[in-house]
Structure 1
Amino acid sequence: MSAATIDRSARRRLGVGAAVVLVLVVAAASVLIGVVRSVGASDPSGEPVVAATGSAELPPVYVHVFGAVQHPGLYRLEEGARVVDVIAAAGGLTPDADETAVNLARRVTDGEQLHLPVAGEAPPASGGGATDGGVASDGRVNLNTADVAALDTLPRVGPAIAQRIIDWREANGAFTSVDDLLAVPGIGEKMLASIRDLVTV
């Protein structure tokens, strides 16, 4: 075999090898581009796509519980927690607790002070703060802690309107002023005027 033939054969093998390497490089680049596109994908609004397993973290609520619980104190709970969750976090009720004095199913609000009385105990005066039923020591109904029964005591407010008030605060957060009641369906200026002095936040 002549030197020219050997040289052409070597160049042919080198060319085939280079082509194989080029194909592999292109394939790797395609895979890499696909991965980058999937990580940086966005919806039509331009916001990054969140994985299906991800979820938005809800803000916590802080509740000060005292009275007939095993471990009184300040507790940090998830948004949407109920009185029963606060009691569980505090180690449960004491044997002398009056469980019927509180609504275990009521949702708690951020910054709430929750008193669990012992059997036969009268709710403590708290300088204008709310007791468990949502009625302050001055007799006004606290819009942020009152249950349906307490709200139903207000003039012109029946059970349906009372439930709407609770639904509104659960959907929108605590009332920041009495005037926020105008955002509740069914409450207008006249009703607000009739209850303004009877409620607080």
Structure 2
Amino acid sequence: MGVLDTVLLVEVFVTLFVIMDPVGTVPIFLSLTSGRSAATARRAAWQAVAVSFFVITCFAFFGQQILSYLHISLPALQAAGGLLLLLVALELLTGKEDSMVASTGGNVALVPLGTPLLAGPGAIVATMLFVEQVDDSATFLAVGLGVIGVHACLWAAMRFSLPILRLIRESGVLLVTRIAGLLLSAIAVQLVADAVRAFIAGEG
């Protein structure tokens, strides 16, 4: 084995890219940061990525121990994340995102952007499974670089979406917000449905 397992690196990057979906994050990021200064939105972008990376890393190293200690199954974690995202989606769909921002202390970068949107149950579980394949420095480096690469893409997608926000104006932001709410609700329902299927199958 060389200094880097490129096959595992590509597998980690592609899997997490599909799950965390940097492109799909853009409308949600725009709707949550609309009406804020460019500097605040830029800060929210890197804060959300930093929170996501911290959560993913913590679960990569200690996830199995944390879940075992708290007697939490992976489907339960997935269902909880789905329900939390569904609440956020409903706020966006009904135009009450201001109350959501107030309830999170004004920092949407932490919740819901950083977690559970970016560092959601899907990404956490996938990372934990990849970590189980780590048996030497080459595989460890591959998983680490894969996670870092996806987070770099997430930051770039949100950071360079800001000119779009200035271009589409207030009416465009309203449209993007509703679309984001619809997409987020679909993601949330899918997470809960997958969790219910896992419970029925006896994995919970």
TM bracket (short chain): under 0.3
Tell me the TM-score normalised to structure 1 length.
0.22
Structure (1 or 2) with the larger CA radius of gyration: 1
TM-score by length of 2: 0.22
